[in-house]
Structure 1
Amino acid sequence: MACTNMTPTIRSQHDVRTQAFDSLPDELVHIDGRTVPGDGESVEHIHPGNGESLGERRLASVDQVDTAVQSAADSSPAWWALPPPQRRDLLLSIAALMRAECQQLGAIVSAEMGMPLRTSVMGVHHAAEWFTHYAGYADKIGGRAPQIGAPGSTVNYTQRVPHGVIAAITPWNGPIVALALKVAPALAAGNTVVLKPSELAPFSSLAIAELSARAGLPPGVLNVVGAAADGGARLSQHPSVGLISFTGGNTAGAAVAQAAAARHARAVLELGGKSASLVFGDVDVARTAKISLLLGAVQNSGQGCFLPTRVLVHRSIYSPFLDAMAAAAAAVRIGDPFDRRTAMGPVVSEAARERIRGVVATALDAGSGRLLTGGGIPQNHQLGSFLEPTVFADVDMSSPLAQDEIFGPVLSVAPFDDTEEAVAVANSTAFGLAGYVWTRDLSRAHRVASALEAGNVSVNGMASLPPETVFNGWKASGLGVEGGREGFEEYTRTRNINITL
Structure 2
Amino acid sequence: MTIAPADIGLLPKPGLLIGDTKLTTAGDGVFEHRYPATGEITNAVPMAGPADIDAAVAAARKAFPAWKRMPANKRRQLMIDYARAILSADHLRQTIVFENGVPYAATPYALSWASELFEFNAGYADKIGGQVVTTFPGDAFDYTLDEPYGVVAVIVPWNGPFISYGQGLAPALAAGNTIVLKPPELAPYTCLALAELALEVGFPPGVINVVPGGPVAGNALVSHSGVDKILFTGSGATAKKIIQAAAANLTPTAFELGGKSARIIFADADPDEAARRSLIGAGQACIAGSRVLVQASIYDEVVELAKTYAQQQRVGDPMDPQTQMGPVINQTAVDRILGFVTRAQETKTGRLVTGGRRLGDELAGGFFLAPTILADVPNEAEIAQDEVFGPVTVFMKFETEEEAVGIANDSLYGLAAYLHTNDLKRAHRVARDLESGIVWINGFRDIPVGAPFGGVKQSGYGRQGGIYGIQEFTRPKNIWMSI
Same fold (TM over 0.5): yes
State whether structure 2 residue 475 is matched by structure 1 residue 493: yes
Where does residue 3 of structure 1 map in the other structure?
none
- Matched residue, 1:131: 118
Query: Partner of 1:160 in structure 2?
Result: 146
Task: Choose which of 175, 185, 210 in structure 1 pairs with 2:161.
Answer: 175
Q: Distance in 2 between matches of 1:402 and 1:442?
A: 28
Q: Kindly provide the amino acid, as one letter, of the partner of residue 13 in structure 2.
A: D
1:451-480 deviation digits (Å, cap 9, x = unpaired): 100010110112411210001100110111
Question: Any residues of structure 2 matched to 1:134-153 within 5 Å, and which?
Answer: 134-149=121-136, 153=139
2:418 aligned to which of 413, 436, 439 = 436
- Deviation of 1:262 after TM superposition, in Å, equals 3.2
Q: How far 1:25 moved relative to its partner?
A: 2.5
- 1:342 aligned onto 2:342: no
TM-score under structure 2 length normalisation: 0.97
CA contact (8 A) 2:416 2:455 kept: yes
Select between 56-65 and 67-76 the one with higher mean Cα deviation.
56-65
Q: Which amino acid aligns with 1:459?
A: I
Is the aligned partner of 1:314 residue 2:295? yes
2-side partners of 1:24 and 1:219: how far apart? 23
Q: SS at 1:302's partner residue?
A: coil
Match of 1:98 among 83, 86, 89: 86
Q: Who is 1:243 aligned against?
A: 229
Unaligned runs of 5+ in 2: none
**Which amino acid in 1 is paired with 2:291?**
R
Q: Cα RMSD between the aligned structures?
A: 1.4
**Residue 282, structure 1, aligned to residue 264, structure 2:** no
Is 1:61 the counterpart of 2:43? The answer is no
CA offset at residue 261 of structure 1? 3.0
Q: 1:141 to 1:302 in 2, by over 3 A?
A: same
Superposition deviation, residue 339 in structure 1 = 0.5
Shift of 1:159: 0.3
Unaligned runs of 5+ in 1: 1-11
CA deviation profile, 1:343-379 (whole Å, cap 9, x unmatched): 0000011221122111111111111110011011234
The one-character-per-residue Cα deviations of 1:283-325 (angstroms, maximum 9, x if unpaired) are 12122111111xxx31xx1001111010000000011111101
| Amino acid corresponding to residue 218 of structure 2 in structure 1 | G
Structure 2 counterpart of 1:30, one-letter code: L
Segments of 4+ moved more than 6 angstroms: none
2:15 & 2:328 partners in 1: Cα distance?
22
Q: Give the percent of matched residue pairs that are identical in Structure 1 and Structure 2.
A: 41
Tell me whether 1:407 sits opposite 2:389 in the alignment: yes
Shift of 1:150: 5.7
- In the alignment, the residues of structure 2 paired with residue 13 and residue 144 of structure 1 have an alpha-carbon distance, to the nearest angstrom, of 59
Within the candidate set 206, 217, 237, 1:231 is matched to 217
Q: CA deviation at 1:13?
A: 6.3
SS in structure 2 of the partner of residue 308 of structure 1: coil
- Work out which of the residue numbers 82, 98, 107 in structure 1 matches 2:94: 107
**1:77-92 correspondence to structure 2 within 5 Å:** 77-92=65-80
- In 2, Cα distance between equivalents of 1:206 and 1:258: 28
Query: Which residue does 1:465 correspond to in 2?
Result: 447
Amino acid at match of 1:139: D
Structure 2: distance between partners of 1:266 and 1:349: 33
Cα deviation, 1:104-148, whole Å, max 9, x if unaligned, reads: 222111101000011122111101100001111111111010221
2:428 equivalent in structure 1: 446
2:253 aligned with 1:267, yes or no?
A: yes
Distance, in Å, in 1 between the alignment partners of 2:262 and 2:158 is 23
* Alpha-carbon distance in structure 2 between the residues aligned to 1:480 and 1:157: 25
Rounded to whole Å, the distance in 2 between the matches of 1:88 and 1:209 is: 17
Distance 1:349 1:191 in 2: 35
Equivalent positions of 1:67-78 (< 5 A) are 67-78=55-66
In the alignment, what sits opposite 1:209?
195
Residue 9 (structure 2) pairs with residue 22 (structure 1): yes
> Which structure 2 residues correspond to residues 326-365 of structure 1 after superposition, within 5 A?
326-365=307-346
Taking the aligned partners of 2:156 and 2:341, their CA distance within structure 1 comes to 27
Matched to 1:46, the amino acid is: R
User: Contact conserved, 2:14 with 2:188, CA < 8 A, in 1?
Assistant: no
**How far apart in 2 are the matches of 1:383 and 1:343?**
19
Query: For 2:410 and 2:47, how far apart are their aligned partners in 1?
Result: 40
Instruction: Give the SS at the match of 1:129.
Output: helix
> 2: CA distance between counterparts of 1:457 and 1:262?
36
Question: 1:44·1:55 contact (CA, 8 Å) conserved in 2?
Answer: yes
